[in-house]
Amino acid sequence: MSDPLPPVLFKALPLIYAQRLILRGEMMWSTLTWFRNQEDSSRGDVFEATRRNFPPGGQEGTRLERHGRPDREQFHFDGHGTEWRPAESHHIFIYSMTLDERLKLCDPAVNAMVEIFEPRVLVERVRSTLGRHRSARANTLIHRAVSYYDDVDDLGPIHSLPDRLAASKRSTHACQREYRFAFGTRADVFDFDHVEGSLLSGDVVPSIQVLDPQCHRMRLRVGALLDCCRIQGPAACAD
């Protein structure tokens, strides 16, 4: 379920947290649900880890059963489409990085860039730490580049693959060139077809939830990372 690791990754952070990452291996992970509801608009997205498909002509559908009998009646839903996301978004934790060392963020407090020059070493440290954690499932750890899409793009089989959905974002965020580590606190988080799907109108926007960070954030300390990470220098900030 993982992509090949790139030769180098980058993490933009406030300097104090960049130092803690290097010296202690301190990593703050957040659930997919948290990213949908709590991140600022330049990074987060209410459709985080959601794959949407809104065909220009509307959505076609077939009823498979009626009154307990097989049925193949066709329907057309003008202005509607489908939306798919992992069923266990509360239990999938992600750590977000970037492939772009020149990534610009709006937050002026994000003033340091950590270069992860040995991603394989970092993955091994994370996996080892998860193996000792009381609730994390180390065997669910995956890593992959985020794929960016438009609502009119063909879904293909991705709607049945929660690991692929967990690394999906709309093309409006493509400039982030994001790469993710992800793991679950339940064994089945990335099981085939363990997803939620909806048929809905294109103008429906999810409401923002108030979340308890104790349930949706997790601080891992994987040990000093001087052998695989270094602070590259001040991170550029967008105007």
- Kindly tell me if the per-residue pLDDT of 40 is higher than 70: no
The CA–CA distances, whole Å, from 172 to 38, 102, 147, 151 equal 18, 18, 12, 11
- Give the type of residue at 181: F
Model confidence band, residue 29 (pLDDT cutoffs 50, 70, 90): very high
pLDDT tens digits, one per residue of 86-132: 999 999 999 999 999 988 766 778 889 999 999 999 999 999 999 99
Domains of the chain, by residue range, sit at: 9-233
Residue in the block written with tokens 């879904």? 155
pLDDT band at 233 (very low <50, low <70, confident <90, very high): low
Indicate if the pLDDT at residue 235 is higher than 50: no
* pLDDT (average), residues 137-143: 97
Say yes or no to pLDDT of 206 above 70. yes
Average pLDDT score over the chain: 89
105-109, 167-171, 215-219, 225-229: the lowest-pLDDT one: 105-109
Q: Of 137-146, 171-180, 201-210, where does mean pLDDT reach its minimum?
A: 201-210
> pTM value?
0.87
CA–CA separation, 15 vs 25, rounded Å? 14
DSSP 233: E
Q: Are strands 137-145 and 80-86 parallel, antiparallel or unpaired?
A: unpaired
- Backbone phi, then psi, for 167, in 5-degree steps? -120, 45
Instruction: For residue 145, give the amino acid letter.
Output: A
Range with lowest mean pLDDT among 10-24, 43-57, 170-184: 43-57
Pick from 97-106, 148-157, 203-212: least confident = 203-212
Cα 133-135-141 angle, rounded to 5 deg: 75
The predicted-structure confidence for 47-87, as pLDDT tens digits, reads as follows 889 999 998 888 887 877 888 888 777 888 888 999 999 99
Cα–Cα distance measured from residue 225 to residue 5, given in angstroms and rounded to the nearest whole number: 17
